Amino acid sequence: MENEWMARAVLFVVMVGAGILLIWMANAAASGRLKRNQLAGIRIPSTMASEEAWLAAHVRARGATVCAGVISILGGAFALVPVPMPVVTIGVLLAAVAALGFVLYGAQVGGTAAKAISES
């Protein structure tokens, strides 16, 4: 029983931490506080082309990325719900997949916005 709660705590910390990080990065990049870099943000050729393209991509992707962060936080909170561990595992996995989907969608729309800036 103690190992189960340890696993739940790890899932909670990882998912909530990832969610908070996603929300922070989305807001920092969209506001211009997070500049082009090799570590965080949408790092594809079209977004790395210029600061203007970087900012346009992150402004456009902000909503989807914040949604990914919120879903991640909710998935982490679900890990603490007193339901059987297989249910927790499936719930957290579904939250992770949904968050990834929103991140990928944000990257796609951000890349499109960056290309539009580069072409103009």
Provide the residue ranges of all domains of the chain, joining segments of one domain with +. 2-119
Q: What global pTM score does this model have?
A: 0.91
Is the Cβ–Cβ distance between 42 and 102 less than 8 Å?
Answer: no
Model confidence at 31, pLDDT cuts 50, 70, 90, reads very high
pLDDT tens profile 41-54: 999 999 999 999 99
45-77: b or e for each residue (b if 16 or more CB lie within 10 Å)? ebbbbeeebbbbbbbbbbebbbbbbbbbbbbbb
Between CA 114 and CA 48 the distance in angstroms is 9
